[in-house]
Amino acid sequence: MIIGSVFGQRDKGKGEQKFDKRLLCPFENGMGREPKEAFTWDPPDKKVIMISKADTAIRSCIDAKVLSINPTEDGRFEIVIYYKDYYFWYFGIKKALVNVNQVIKAGQVLGTYTFGQEMEFRMFKDEEPVDPREFLECRVNEEKKE
């Protein structure tokens, strides 16, 4: 995972701030689902798996700045954007359509998604994982636990 290498690449703001924004859904017509893992994490892994029933654009969830764009082992990309002390990590992008240090608006296209793939979405406050489901303005299906 390359995300650890991006923390600390920008100047940290002063003072503690509560995140009080809603996050635009990364897919215009997609939805999120709980990760289906062969094992469980303790503490639980704070991510959402985004899926769409068609090829689509992946959008910025918030006004932000592009911090990093990295190719992955499977030929796709990960893009990390940040807003104040919050980082948003998109993993599984087919083609990146933004540049590092580019200032972006909520809803602006970051890259493309191919039907049949999964796009992993994570949120961090500095280096601490945050559950993005609390802030996302899209449907996240939670599987029933028995």
CATH at residue 83: 2.70.70.10
Residue 132 to residues 73, 88, 102, Cα–Cα distance (Å): 25, 9, 23
Q: Which of 17-21, 34-38, 106-110, 140-144 has the highest mean pLDDT?
A: 106-110
The answer to whether residue 27 is domain-embedded is no
The answer to whether residue 41 is domain-embedded is no
Q: How many domains does the chain have?
A: 1
The answer to whether residue 39 is domain-embedded is no
Confidence check: pLDDT of 144 > 70? no
Contact present, 88 and 121 (Cβ < 8 Å): yes
Domain span at 82: 46-126
pLDDT for 14 = 47
How is residue 36 annotated by DSSP?
Answer: -
The answer to whether residue 24 is domain-embedded is no
35-89 pLDDT per residue, tens: 554 445 455 678 888 888 888 899 999 999 999 999 999 999 999 999 999 999 9
pTM comes to 0.78
The answer to whether residue 100 is domain-embedded is yes
